[in-house]
Amino acid sequence: MDIRRAGLTMAQWRQLIDDAYSGRVTEPITNLDESSGSHYDAIFVGGGSAGRFGAAVLHSLGGRALVLERWPFLGGSCPHQACVPHHLFSEAAKELDQAQALAGRLWYGKFDPDAASILELVELFRSQRSGPHAHMNWQSTQQLDIEFVLNAPALVTDSRTVRAAGRTFTAGALVLCTGSRTAMPGIVGESLPGVFDYASFIEDLDYEPSRIVVIGGSKVAVEYASFYQATGTPTTVISRGALLSSGGPGRMDDDLRRFIVDGMRARGIELLEHSTIGRITGQRRADGVEVMTPDGPRRMEADFVLIATGETPNVESFIDALPVERDHDGFVTVNARMQTSVPGVYAAGDLLGPPLEMFKSRRSGTTAARNIMGVESEFGYADIPDFLHTTYEVSWAGLGERAARESVGQVVTIQLPPPGLDPGETPLPMAEGSMLYGFTLPERTGFQKCVIDARSRRVLGVHHAGYGAKDAFQYLHYLISRPQGLTIDELGDMNELYVSPDYFIGYARLRAGQADLTSM
């Protein structure tokens, strides 16, 4: 189906995407400038964030880009099964947490766990996700003029050639951005009905879970467990190590991690750390998980099991033709320009491995595009701002206090609640999003810490659990990672929009003039 001149409206895109996703439309959906032939400056194999953003930038630099995507929409797993549904569930978790905590007070009625349905929210997402999908397609066509073939798998045949929709396309460069999927751990019983990962949870859930086990200690495990428990569904997390101790969360400040994990326990989530799964049991559907804990063997009843143990790259569409170098987990390795070991072949997005975050996909795709177009560009994604959700939004950037001490020796901190005060004794850090807690359950207002090098006065790290601070952290990360950094004195010179969710500006101002900095 050639849609190049169709000028599809949002409603028409939604219909077409729904029809294609449900199998009513099986033909490829093409937006190709046929008059220019089938040779491109770059072909992006995969139309997620990396491919879509890469193609847009390559086009804006004057190049010709083609995106090939097996799904009938651009944008990839983010709006389909990953970030967007996760954010919907995390917002619901925050609301439900508040409804449980304040049940019977103010305008909150008695909390009714039967009214908070996991299935209903999944169905809501499923029924509406073609809205964001349609927007990606509409924007890519109407505003970004991206050439694409959707609803058709692609097969790379050599470093310049890809086949899709029965046609052959060639390019000066290829950008591999085929994403990743859950690495199933090989547990006995993991293919039973009732065992899900983040993707099949969205696609296949057709009953209301009543007892949940989440396997893994990752962000996904913590985020989904927090949501499930917030609906009133008893949830256990089983992790091999300490929760949130590896990957991005491994850089989290110790006090922030403690606040989060204690908060999960306080909300009733059972956490079995340092534990290994024996098997998932069940006949027609999973009915339990056998686990070895530090205190001995246990069996957890569960009619729903979520596997959240990490990801593996999707390499099947290119690996036979392009044996690019990969790391020990199979992820494609690239240099700072996103070049793989095969000349003229770049890679971007989740295919590169953790962090599996949107900004890395978008920026790695655009970095590849710039280099292909001769604009030298590098992207290092080791030092990143990061976040996750429990029933809080949790953000961090730079060094935690322990890592900062190891790095510069003498540090001071600005922290709320202040060290030495029990969280229940002070309503701070209440702010937008936690004002109701400030006046009802002050221990729930959140946690924040700013770590400062006592000698250079530079801010080394910022850490936050609360609501609405992600925006600030995007910019704070940029400021503190500049070569000149950001001093406490400069931070204190900014103008805060009170009561903003982080108190760093106002509190930095209270200490800014101090010759020998002290913590507060």
Binding site for ligand COM (CB under 6 A): 49, 52-53, 75, 78-79, 84, 136, 362
Tell me whether residue 85 or residue 217 sits nearer to ligand COM (CB atom).
85
**Whole-number minimum distance, CB 432 to ligand COM, in Å?**
25
CA gap 390, 331 in Å, rounded:
28
Q: Strand, helix or coil at 170?
A: strand
**Whole-number minimum distance, CB 173 to ligand COM, in Å?**
20
Asked whether 305 and 272 are in contact (CB, 8 A), the reply is: no
**Whole-number minimum distance, CB 119 to ligand COM, in Å?**
23
Outline where DSSP puts E strands in 424-492.
Answer: 447-453, 459-466
**Whole-number minimum distance, CB 82 to ligand COM, in Å?**
8
Tell me whether residue 143 or residue 495 sits nearer to ligand COM (CB atom).
143
Distances from the Cα of 511 to the Cαs of 272, 308, 487, 504, 516, in angstroms? 42, 43, 11, 11, 9
Tell me whether residue 128 or residue 210 sits nearer to ligand COM (CB atom).
128
Tell me whether residue 49 or residue 390 sits nearer to ligand COM (CB atom).
49
**Whole-number minimum distance, CB 71 to ligand COM, in Å?**
12
CA gap 206, 187 in Å, rounded:
23
**Whole-number minimum distance, CB 464 to ligand COM, in Å?**
23
Tell me whether residue 78 or residue 338 sits nearer to ligand COM (CB atom).
78
Q: Cβ–Cβ contacts within 10 Å for residue 399, how many?
A: 24
**Whole-number minimum distance, CB 78 to ligand COM, in Å?**
4
- The secondary structure of the chain in percent helix, strand, coil, rounded to multiples of 5, reads 35, 25, 45
Q: Strand, helix or coil at 405?
A: helix
Ranked by CB distance to ligand COM, the top (closest) residue is 49
CA gap 480, 460 in Å, rounded:
7
Asked whether 280 and 190 are in contact (CB, 8 A), the reply is: yes
Q: What are phi and psi of 447, to 5 degrees?
A: -150, 140
Tell me whether residue 51 or residue 263 sits nearer to ligand COM (CB atom).
51
Q: Report the Cα–Cα distance between both ends of the chain, in Å, rounded.
A: 64
Tell me whether residue 255 or residue 393 sits nearer to ligand COM (CB atom).
393
Tell me whether residue 82 or residue 394 sits nearer to ligand COM (CB atom).
82
**Whole-number minimum distance, CB 466 to ligand COM, in Å?**
24
DSSP 126-157: HHHTHHHHHHHHHIIIIIS--EEEESS-EEEE
